[in-house]
Amino acid sequence: MPPKAINYKANSIVYFKGDSGENVFILQKGQVSLNYQDIQTNQDMHDFVQTGEFFGVKAAFGKYPHDETAVVLVNSTVIQFSVEDFEQLLSTNNRVIMKMLKVFSNQLRRIHKQVQSLLSSEEQTNAEKGLFSVGEYYFNNKKYKQAADAFNRYLTYYPNGQYEAEVRKKIEYADMQKNIKSEPAMAPKTVENKTVQKYTLEDAQKLCNSGNYTDAYNAYIKSIQYNPNIRLEAEFEAGICLFKLEKPNDVIRHFTGILKRNPAHSKMGECLYYIGKSYLSIQDMEKSKGFLMKAISLLSEGTPEQRDAQMLVSQIGE
């Protein structure tokens, strides 16, 4: 396939983190940001591509998924090359080779700085992970009191640590289990003795099928506490409940969070589809079209979501 110029509107996505790297891109005009997470701090980072610079090179030549998301900031034109065409360009143009070496040099410097920083903080990182592992040991062995003590100590030393979100959820679950175990000794054995409702995916699905989307959403979220292995499916279905409840801003936040945590999610196309439809609900046509077009490329051919996305894109138009 010969090189081709592609026009992107603002807030479009050239490729997502986790997409297979098959092409090399050159920014002809406009602005593109390469967004990724710092390997040390997990903070969101942004590298801005200059006009005439390449991006997507490492993944294309290394034949592995992209490690960043390429976001178009303003209306832009990008030249897309296949690897073969780009190699041919390199073989006939020394100036292009020098530019590519500059790109690689900048990326290697960035990686080197991060690795050096990681090595210098290895002792601290291991201490944090070690304390988390203590809590995990007690938690997995159902020693919930000891687990809660270890996790609370973790939050004392690392209030914004790498495992902070997971620790808070496990503290909540451990406290709930402690209360459940203490109830039989405290409460009389009567018909009115209360028990904590344990939700499963099937329970949540029944609520959803009955149209009770609020309770279904809560049931999906609570089901994760009892079985963390169903997190991906339960979170996805919970997002659909928010969509049924016509809460577009919540839907956008929910599915965006899922994709940030799981950049290679098996239902990425469906997540993007619901994000796109939610932007349409709040009359943000440009973002809606960008997400729907990306969803179309990822959804299975002929599915209801893909057909609906195609229809909506044609209705939005230019």
Q: Where are the domains of the chain?
A: 4-120, 123-186, 201-316
Query: Six-digit token pair at 130?
Result: 């070690």
Query: Six-digit token pair at 192?
Result: 């009115």
Q: Give me the residues paired with residue 27 across strands.
A: 78
Widest CA span in the chain: 86
Average confidence score pLDDT of the chain:
81
CB contact at 8 A, 114 and 38: yes
Fold classified for 4-120? Jelly Rolls (2.60.120)
DSSP 55: E
pTM: 0.42
Q: What would the pLDDT profile of 69-100 be if each residue is shown by its tens digit?
A: 999 999 999 999 888 887 887 777 666 666 66
Return the CATH number of the domain spanning residue range 201-316: 1.25.40.10
CB contact at 8 A, 47 and 33: yes
Q: Which of 8, 15, 6 shows the shortest CA–CA distance to 75?
A: 8
Name the residue type at position 156. Answer: T
Q: What would the pLDDT profile of 96-143 be if each residue is shown by its tens digit?
A: 666 666 665 555 555 555 555 555 554 444 677 878 888 888 888 788
Q: Report the distance separating Cα 71 and Cα 203, nearest Å.
A: 39
